[in-house]
A and B are shown apart, each in its own frame.
Chain A
Amino acid sequence: MLIRRHGDIRSSEITPADVYAQRRAFLKAAAAAGVGAALSGPAAALVAPAGQRDAIAGVVETPHGRGLELTDYEFVTQYNNFYEFGTDKADPAENAHTLRTRPWNVVVDGECEAPGEIGIEDILTGFTQEERIYRLRCVEAWAMVVPWIGFPLGDLLRRFKPTSRANYVRFETLLDPEQMPGQRRAILDWPYREGLRMDEAMHPLTILATGLYGEVLPNQNGAPLRLVVPWKYGFKSIKSIVRISFVHGVPETTWWRMAPDEYGFYANVNPSVDHPRWSQARHRVLGEGLFSRKHETPMFNGYADQVAHLYKDMDLRKFY
């Protein structure tokens, strides 16, 4: 099997350090002043938040993704797959205002010694919020780079003391057609469900995100709490989570149910296993021009050195 390493990321995906530093300084200034700066002209995307959402306090910087060029805030927040708010990429940004993210509780249950519930405020204050810049590769062959705020999923899971029977974790999105108008039509089998193997869930790269670009998550990005698993296709990173269950055996997941030959349980980014309708060998990076070249998709989305060992003896053509 072909395994590409970090070094294979095209240099055009990486900005010179000074540009990066400039952008960070700009972000900080924008957040601090509570103002964003949109460039003028039709082509100018909003590169940073306009300060309309609450900033997350006490965010710790980390080395994750340092040097990657961030996708403009506007694209990160206005080009979303979140069928609960419509199937067009622009729909979630338009419709997700109906979602109420406070109060918000997450039930943690199943094969564990201390099942319970945790509120979003406790999540925000009870876990060190880190900034992690990750690549996100969608199964539809486009990608972006997002500065998430979040914390390792494992830190939360351990609090609920999973038993030895728990070998998978199952996640569930809110089910409420009042707040999520897309759920009024049976496009998918609502509520959206996802799952991870226990070692994937406990992997230090796997995070629960509470924000992006320094602020709390916009509703269309899965507020107030979503999963981010950077080496898997985006649909694994379930949004607006209300329930996390420790289970024994592979949980049934939404897209797998919908089309098992197209969306496997693992859904690891893999350039050598095609989707039946398109190749996964290359992708577009959001925000690049119409005539820009596609990028080669690296194995495990460029995180192979950290996660390849999880799948050491598995046939990834079979377990796609």
Chain B
Amino acid sequence: MDRPEHAFPWRRFVAKPLLFGAALIPFGLLVHGAAVGDLGANPLERVTHTTGDWGLRFLLLTLAMTPLRQLTAWSGWLTFRRMLGLFAFFYVSLHFLTWIWLDQELRWANMLADIAKRPFVTVGFVAWLLLLPLALTSTRAMMRRLGRHWKRLHRTVYAVAVLGVLHFLWLVKADLLEPLIYAAVLFVLLLVRWRPGLLKRPPLSTRALDAR
């Protein structure tokens, strides 16, 4: 897998910028839609749903990198993990800001009451709170400073994803199909996280075959 020192750093100069640009597309479409007034009949709902959906998708994509490395034996996946995690934080924060500013219209007392009494809001808020320290400690310097604690801290991202899916399940009116799809994806990701053996390909030596 290791490349010679002088090889062109594709990951740094091609793959990552491409991913960065792609991850900004949903945001770009929202900004464009807001600018020309083309966000449909209910723009607030469009923005809330788009940012919520992409927040959750980026969370799950972040969690998928380690299993992908195991599956493909390509360590390159891990170089995308931080960027994906930060995009999850970006979209969820936009989602939260949309709620604060456009949905609640800065009525702070209302917001506190909502966080306290509506379980789906409580869960979303806790998920965002838990994401915050992860975003703040995502730099290389913080990683070095925290040492082994860093890894433990960043495992919280699994809890964030669980809360994110729960949030979605609780806010749906009748049709649970969509949140259940996210729940199923998360379930698989959690399964391979705690049972990494599931992804290891069985050794192909004759001895292994004989032993069966």
Contacts and interface: CB of A to CB of B under 8 A. Distances in A.
B94 to A, nearest CB: 13
B63 to A, nearest CB: 27
Contact of B39 (A41, A142, A258, A290): A290
A76 B105 CA distance: 26
B175 interface: yes
Interface residues of B, number: 24
A290 B175 contact: no
A286 B41 contact: yes
Contact of B37 (A43, A75, A294): A43
A275 B118 CA distance: 10
Interface in A72-109: 74-75, 78-79, 83, 87, 89
Contacts of B41: 74-75, 78-79, 89, 144, 286-287
A278 B39 contact: no
B174 A278 contact: no
Nearest to A287: B41
A79 B40 contact: yes
B42 A286 contact: yes
Contact of B118 (A43, A78, A278, A289): A278
B105 A187 contact: no
A277 interface: yes
B120 interface: yes
A188 B173 CA distance: 10
Given A42-B36, A79-B41, A290 B174 contact: no
A277 B118 contact: yes
Interface of A: 41-43, 74-75, 78-79, 83, 87, 89, 142, 144, 185, 187-188, 258, 276-279, 284, 286-287, 289-291, 293-294
Interface of B: 34, 36-45, 47, 102, 105, 110, 114, 118, 120, 170-171, 173-175, 177
